Amino acid sequence: SSMLARIANSLTSDIIESLGMGNVRGTLILPFATGMSLAFCLSSWRRNKPNAKYVVFLRIDQLSCFKAIFVAGYEPIIIDCVRDEDRDTLTTDIDGLTRVLKEKHDKILAVLSTTSCFAPRGPDDVEAVGEVCSRYRIKHLVNNAYGLQSRECRRRIDMAGGKGHVDAFVQSLDKNFLVPVGGSLIATFDEEAIDAIAQFYPGRASLVPSRDLMITLLHLGRNGFMNIYQRQTELFELLVKKTNELASTISERVLQTPTNLTSIAITLTGLPADEQTLLGSILFDRGITGARVVCPGIKKCILGHEFFNYGSHSSKDQPPYLNIACAIGMSREEVDILIETIRKEYSELRAKARRRSIVRGSE
């Protein structure tokens, strides 16, 4: 079992290097999903700063990474996103982060940033975040859930890590390596850092994630694996092109998020509010399980912390929109089916809404 785990770790290190992340020096496969591995990293760092009470959470509206902070025994300090001046992208509030770290650095263990996310959220400015963390000697943990398949996420993490500004980054095995759910990969830019995290592991557990990953990588080989990632890049570009064409046809707009290379957001302003959420339900019934509708104004309380506009990653005003994504394993045929299904169902809902409006106007 130890030999199998070592082989799987070596294979993942080789693949990560092949993906252009040449600064990575250590990897560790754990039989936990991403959220638990984030909590595991935070817990392993507790002895480095035993009096710390907080983890700074750069807002992303995803439950597991937020709950990971509580699982590790810390309280979150939430920093909202800011919008790029020239685009729709939501990204890191570096000024806000700097103020928080300056005021409370002695009580803060780490900053939890995110790369892979749903548009209009873009990847955090990992290098700038890391520079601020290094200034105040605070750990920097990156939630890279499915970010290995994004060349932009890989570039940002490797650049920051090569300068010593990332202490660890965590990614899901199923989302990045086409294996069953239930495992994750922790990586660091320092061998001692990954050893310290590994030594915190309390005992034996299932080797299934390591076994599945090893079998998959041996079956695909480096070239086969790289082809899958290249295919994702090509299909995402196709999806962007077709989504822009669709938006023009139905008088909607694709939000401009050029740093997000896995997810797209298209506005739904032409539909009444009740029809917007209905569209999401209809798409799910049609087998489009990855799409989701996000409407403004939703409030959600999670473990005592309230989020406004939950789902949109920011309390700032947003139009209603539909999220779609292109991950590894998607085919060109699926892209065509996705776009055609959205076009058909959107058009039917808008036509029904117009007919109802005409009927009400004549009464």
Q: How many helices (H) and strands (E) does the chain have?
A: 11, 14
Burial grade of 26 (CB within 10 A; 0-12, 13-18, 19 or more):
buried
Q: How many Cα atoms are found within 13 Å in the side-chain-facing hemisphere of 207?
A: 13
* Residue carrying structure tokens 């890391």: 130
Residue 142 forms beta bridges with which residues?
113, 169
**Measured distance CA(234)–CA(195) in Å, rounded:** 37
- Report which DSSP code applies to 87: S
CA 150 to chain centre: 10
Read off the tokens for 65.
């990474």
**Measured distance CA(323)–CA(314) in Å, rounded:** 15
Three-point CA angle 274, 277, 281, nearest 5°? 125
- Going edge to edge, which strands form the sheet with 263-267? 263-267, 321-325, 292-294
Per DSSP bridges, beta strands 139-143 and 168-172 are parallel
**Measured distance CA(126)–CA(115) in Å, rounded:** 8
Look at the chain and count its residues: 363
- Which sign, positive or negative, has the C-alpha torsion 167, 173, 174, 180? negative
- Check the annotation: does 204 bind a ligand: yes
Helix (H) or strand (E) holding 294: strand 292-294
Per DSSP bridges, beta strands 184-188 and 263-267 are unpaired
Binding residues for substrate: 204
Binding residues for tRNA: 286
Binding residues: 204, 286
